[in-house]
């Protein structure tokens, strides 16, 4: 019988839109939507971030935490500064907490992105009330699907049996998202 794995810890250099650092442990008991994005990723701006805002508006903060994860893996000088991200969050009216994914000392992918083995941005991660990884989707997800999946996890009382799977986006991603080169 497959078992579910705990979601990897967030490795964050700076938090925005919140006064305190947030750990996944501190969110036990809530479902967590973790939306990995880059401010210059067209699919993040047009689809994934507006969707995360709708999730924040629809569900109770007692049931779900919505967190943005700014995982910069390209154009570091353009989108890598805290100041640039702050301006972006202001202009796009994103008010939920946003974590800046910690860059790796050796270069390469930022650390949380790497720990989750993400393929690029946007990536939508959903974690259950017990901290286990339940959804990992690269690219665009339908609202109807995400709404159903989140509600399913909100309603969970018992240990679920299914294992999280990484869905690879079928379609060519050039318009919808930013895939890590040679991934």
Binding residues vs a copy of itself (CB under 8 A): 40-42, 45-46, 51, 54-55, 58-59, 74-75, 77-79, 81, 83-88, 90-92, 142-152, 154-156, 178
Q: What is the DSSP letter of 120?
A: E
The token pair at 81 is: 């500064």
Nearest in space to 12 (alpha carbons), one of 96, 69, 57? 69
Residue 43 beta carbon to a copy of itself: minimum distance, rounded to whole angstroms: 10
Residue (6 or 175) nearer to a copy of itself, CB: 175
Give the residue with the Cβ less far from a copy of itself, 105 or 144.
144
If one counts every other C-beta atom within 10 angstroms of the C-beta of residue 70, the result is 29
Taking the least distance from each CB to a copy of itself, the nearer of 8 and 42 is 42
Minimum distance from residue 171 beta carbon to a copy of itself (Å)? 16
- Is there a contact between 44 and 37 (Cβ–Cβ < 8 Å)? yes
CA–CA gap between residue 8 and residue 118 (Å, rounded): 12
State the nearest-atom distance from the C-beta of 106 to a copy of itself, in Å: 22
Q: Which is nearer to a copy of itself, 11 or 79 (CB)?
A: 79
Shortest separation between residue 75's beta carbon and a copy of itself, angstroms: 4
43 in Cβ contact with 144 (< 8 Å):
no
The C-alpha atoms of residue 87 and residue 69 are separated, in whole angstroms, by: 16
């Amino acid at each position: 019988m497959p078992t579910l794995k705990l979601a990897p810890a967030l490795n964050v250099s700076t938090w925005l839109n919140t006064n305190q650092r947030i750990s996944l442990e501190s969110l036990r008991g809530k479902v967590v939507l973790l939306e990995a994005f880059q401010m210059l990723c067209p699919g993040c701006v047009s689809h994934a971030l507006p969707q995360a805002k709708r999730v924040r508006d629809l569900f109770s903060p007692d049931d779900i935490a919505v967190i943005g994860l700014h995982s910069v893996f390209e154009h570091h000088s353009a989108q890598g500064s805290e100041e640039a991200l702050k301006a972006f969050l202001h202009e796009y009216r994103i008010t939920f907490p946003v974590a800046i994914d910690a860059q790796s000392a050796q270069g390469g992918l930022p650390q949380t992105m790497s720990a989750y083995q993400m393929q690029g941005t946007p990536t939508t991660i959903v974690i259950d009330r017990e901290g286990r990884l339940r959804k990992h989707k690269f690219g665009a997800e339908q609202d109807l699907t995400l709404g159903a999946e989140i509600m399913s996890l909100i309603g969970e009382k018992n240990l679920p049996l299914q294992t999280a799977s990484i869905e690879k986006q079928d379609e060519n991603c050039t318009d919808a998202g930013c895939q890590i080169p040679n991934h």
